[in-house]
Structure 1
Amino acid sequence: MKTWVNLIFILVVTSVLAQNNLVYMELGGNGGIFSLNYERSFPRAGGIALRAGLGISFFEFEKESVNYESTTQCLFCGIFTDLPRTSFSLPMSVHYPIDLKNGNYLEVGLGSTWQLSKKSLLVQYGSLFFRRHFGENRKWIWKVGLTPILGVIGENVDKSSEPTLWYGISIGRRF
C-alpha cells in the first residue's frame, strides 16, 4: 500500500512540475466581461486542454423594459436605464492547441458558459485564439481571439438581442 501511495505522489508531483497547469485572466471572451480561469492540458491526450473559470457577464439574451413612474425614482434616466445587469458566469471549455513553432499556438475549441442570474442561461460557443508563450522558460502566456456564440439555452431567450461574435484577450502564467 505504501508503494502505491508513493507512486501516486510521484505522478502528481511530476505532472504539476511539467507545467501543464495555467492560470489566466481574460477580458471579454468566454466568461463575459472578465474571468479568472484555470486550464489543465493533457500531453498524453495530444495536448487537449480543459478550462474552468469564474467570471462576470452581462449577457441577458432577452428584452426587458424598465418603467419608472416618476423622475424621482430615476435620477439618471436615460443614462443608466439601458445598462445590462451583471451576473456571475462559469465558463468551461475543451480546446486543442496547434503548435505553430517558437512558442506560438492556434487554439480551437468548444465550450459552455453558465450564467447565474434570476434567469440562468447556458451559452454555447466556439473559440479560436492565437496564443504566445514568452518569458523565462516560456512560463507566461498571452492570447487573443474570437468566441462566436453558437447557441443559448434558457427561458424567454432572444439570441438576436446580443452579439453573436465576441472577442477576448488574456494573460497568465503556466506552472
Structure 2
Amino acid sequence: MNLKHKYLFFFVLFLIVAISFRGTAQTEDVKFTAKQAVYLEVGGNAGRYAINYGRIIHQKGKLKLNASAGFSMFHDRLNAKTTWLPVVPVEISALYGKSNHHLELGMGVTSYLTRRLGFDSETFQTTDKVVFDAGIPLRIGYRYQKPEGGFFFRAGYTPIINFPTGGGEEWSFEPRFAGLSIGKSF
C-alpha cells in the first residue's frame, strides 16, 4: 500500500470513528409514535419505481423492525404491442438508530410479470408469452424518519439476486441497483 492509500485509509477510519462517537452522544431512546409511512421509491426493490406502504412492527431501544409492501406497473412494448406488467416488492428491514437517523438493513422478495420470447423448433415460429418472475433484493442504506412523523427519506444500495423462475435458466446477481424514497410518516 503506497503512502497516498495509507492516508486515505486512516482518513476514512477517522471519519467512521468520529461518526460513531457522534451517534452515541444521544442519551435516551425515542419511541416512535409515527409507525406508518407512505412513500414513492425510485429504483430500489421494484427496479424502476413503486408506491409503498411501510410500518414499524417492533421497536426496542435503538432497534426497529419495519415491514413494507408496494406496487408498480411497467409497460413492455414489443412488436408494436404494449403490455402492462405488475410488480410487487415486499421487504423486511431493521433500522438501527436512536432518533431521526438510522442505518437500514433489509431483504425482501419482488415478484413481477415479464415477457419472454420463445422459439418452437417444430413450427419455426416465435412465441411471446407473459411469465412470472421474482428476485430477492437486499438493502443497506440510510433512513431519515422522525419519531413523531412528517417528512420521510431514505437512500440505499439494493443489489438483487434473481432466481430461476418463469423460464429463467440460472441464478444471477445484479449488483447495480440503488434506490431513493421520499414520503410521509404518520
When the two structures are superposed, what TM-score results if normalisation uses the length of structure 2? 0.62
Which has the bigger relative contact order, CA under 8 A and spacing at least 6?
1
Counterpart of 2:96?
98
Q: Is residue 19–residue 174 contact of structure 1 (8 Å, CA) maintained in 2?
A: yes
Q: Is residue 25–residue 37 contact of structure 1 (8 Å, CA) maintained in 2?
A: yes
The DSSP-based 3-state class of the residue aligned with 2:45 is: helix
Structure 1 distance, partners of 2:108, 2:171, is 20
The DSSP-based 3-state class of the residue aligned with 1:165 is: coil
The alpha-carbon deviation at position 170 of structure 1 amounts to: 0.6
Counterpart of 1:151?
162
1:23 aligns with 2:38: yes
The DSSP-based 3-state class of the residue aligned with 2:158 is: strand
Counterpart of 2:137?
125
Query: How many positions carry a matched residue from both structures?
Result: 137
For the aligned residue pairs, the C-alpha RMSD in angstroms reads 3.3
Structure 2 distance, partners of 1:122, 1:170, is 21
Structure 1 distance, partners of 2:170, 2:153, is 30
Structure 2 distance, partners of 1:157, 1:113, is 15
AA aligned to 2:91 is S
Counterpart of 1:3?
none
Which has the larger strand fraction?
Answer: 2
Unmatched 5+ residue regions in structure 1? 1-16, 61-65, 69-73, 75-84
Q: Is residue 144–residue 153 contact of structure 2 (8 Å, CA) maintained in 1?
A: yes
Q: Is residue 111–residue 134 contact of structure 2 (8 Å, CA) maintained in 1?
A: yes
The alpha-carbon deviation at position 116 of structure 1 amounts to: 2.5
Q: 1:102 to 1:161 in 2, by over 3 A?
A: closer
69, 91, 94: which one pairs with 1:52? 69
Structure 1 distance, partners of 2:154, 2:143, is 4
Structure 1 distance, partners of 2:91, 2:152, is 18
Structure 2 distance, partners of 1:41, 1:27, is 21
Structure 1 distance, partners of 2:43, 2:175, is 13
Structure 2 distance, partners of 1:54, 1:138, is 23
Structure 2 distance, partners of 1:94, 1:163, is 20
The alpha-carbon deviation at position 102 of structure 1 amounts to: 5.0
Structure 2 distance, partners of 1:133, 1:57, is 29
- % identity of equivalent residues: 23
The alpha-carbon deviation at position 157 of structure 1 amounts to: 1.6
